[in-house]
Amino acid sequence: MAKKQPNMNKGAVGLFFVFSLLFFVILYRFSVIGITGEAAGQPLAAKAEQKHTRYGTIEAARGAIKDRSGEVIAEDTASYTLIAILDEKMTTDPENPKHIVNPEMTAAKLAKYIDMKESEIIRILEKKKEKPELFQVEFGKAGRDIPFQTKKEIEAEKLPGITFKRDSKRFYPNGIFASHLVGFVERKERENGTYASFGKLGIEKLMDKRLKGESGKIEYESDLWGYLLPSGKELVTPAKNGNDIYLTLDRKIQTFLEDALNKTVEEYNPKKIIAIVADPKTGEILAMGQRPTFDPKTREGIEKAWHNEAIEYPFEPGSTMKIFTLAAAVNEGVFKPNEPYKSGSYQVTKRDKPIKDHNGSGWGTITYLEGVQRSSNVAFAKMAKEKLGFDTFREYLTRFGLDKPTGIDLPSEATSQLRYEWPIEKITTSFGQGTAVTAIQQVQAATAIANDGKMMKPHVIKKITDYDTGETIEEIKPEVVSEPITPEAAKKVRDILETVITSPKGTGHNRYNIEGYSVAGKTGTAELSQGHGYLSGAGNYIFSFLGMAPADNPELIVYVAVQQPEIDSYFKGSLPVSMIFNSVMKNSLQYLNIKPSTQAPVMSGKLPDLKGEPAVNAKRDLEAKGYDVIVIGDGSEVAEQVPTAGATALEGEKVILKTNGKAVMPDMAGWSIRDVMKAATLTDLKLNFKGSGYVVKQSITKGAPIKGGDQLTVQLETPREQNHAKEKEKKDPEIKE
585 and 703 share one domain: no
In the predicted model, is pLDDT for residue 3 greater than 80?
Answer: no
pLDDT band at 44 (very low <50, low <70, confident <90, very high): very low
48 and 108 share one domain: no
Residues belonging to the chain: 737
**Structural domain containing residue 726:** 607-731
Whether residue 558 contacts residue 443, with contact meaning beta carbons closer than 8 Å, is answered with no
Flag whether 252 is in a domain: no
470 and 387 share one domain: yes
Flag whether 704 is in a domain: yes
pLDDT band at 430 (very low <50, low <70, confident <90, very high): very high
Q: Does the annotation count 319 as an active-site position?
A: yes
Report the percent of the chain where pLDDT is more than 90: 53
> How much helix, strand and coil, in percent to the nearest 5, is found in the chain?
35, 25, 40
376 and 522 share one domain: yes
Whether residue 510 contacts residue 479, with contact meaning beta carbons closer than 8 Å, is answered with no
In the predicted model, is pLDDT for residue 68 greater than 90?
Answer: yes
14 and 103 share one domain: no
Flag whether 650 is in a domain: yes
Range with lowest mean pLDDT among 91-95, 354-358, 430-434, 520-524: 91-95
pLDDT band at 58 (very low <50, low <70, confident <90, very high): low
Point out the domain boundary residue: 212, 228, 256. 212
Q: What is the CATH number of the domain that holds 346?
A: 3.40.710.10
pLDDT band at 71 (very low <50, low <70, confident <90, very high): very high
Whether residue 179 contacts residue 296, with contact meaning beta carbons closer than 8 Å, is answered with yes
Q: How far apart are CA 245 and CA 216, in angstroms?
A: 21
**Which of these, 90, 78, 82, lies nearest to 115 by C-alpha position?**
82
504 and 620 share one domain: no
- For residues 690-710, average pLDDT: 84
Go through 23-48 and write b for each residue having 16 or more CB atoms within 10 A of its CB, e for each that does not.
eeeeeeeeeeeeeeeeeeeeeeeeee
Point out the domain boundary residue: 168, 183, 212. 212
Q: What is the CATH number of the domain that holds 646?
A: 3.30.10.20
660 and 546 share one domain: no
65 and 8 share one domain: no
Q: What is the pLDDT of residues 714-737, one digit of tens each?
A: 888 766 566 556 555 544 443 332
Total number of domains in the chain:
4
412 and 497 share one domain: yes
Q: How far apart are CA 83 and CA 80, in angstroms?
A: 9
48 and 80 share one domain: no
Q: What is the pLDDT of residue 53?
A: 52
Range with lowest mean pLDDT among 101-110, 180-189, 426-435, 644-653: 644-653
Q: What is the pLDDT of residues 536-586, one digit of tens each?
A: 777 899 999 999 999 999 999 999 999 999 998 888 889 999 999 999 999
426 and 466 share one domain: yes
Q: What is the CATH number of the domain that holds 76?
A: 3.90.1310.10
50 and 72 share one domain: no
Flag whether 8 is in a domain: yes
Flag whether 717 is in a domain: yes
pLDDT band at 461 (very low <50, low <70, confident <90, very high): very high
- For residues 280-297, average pLDDT: 96
Q: What is the pLDDT of residue 600?
A: 43
Flag whether 576 is in a domain: yes
pLDDT band at 521 (very low <50, low <70, confident <90, very high): very high
What mean pLDDT value characterizes the chain? 86
Flag whether 220 is in a domain: no
Range with lowest mean pLDDT among 44-53, 441-450, 722-731: 44-53
Flag whether 376 is in a domain: yes
Active-site residue identified among 79, 319, 376, 604: 319
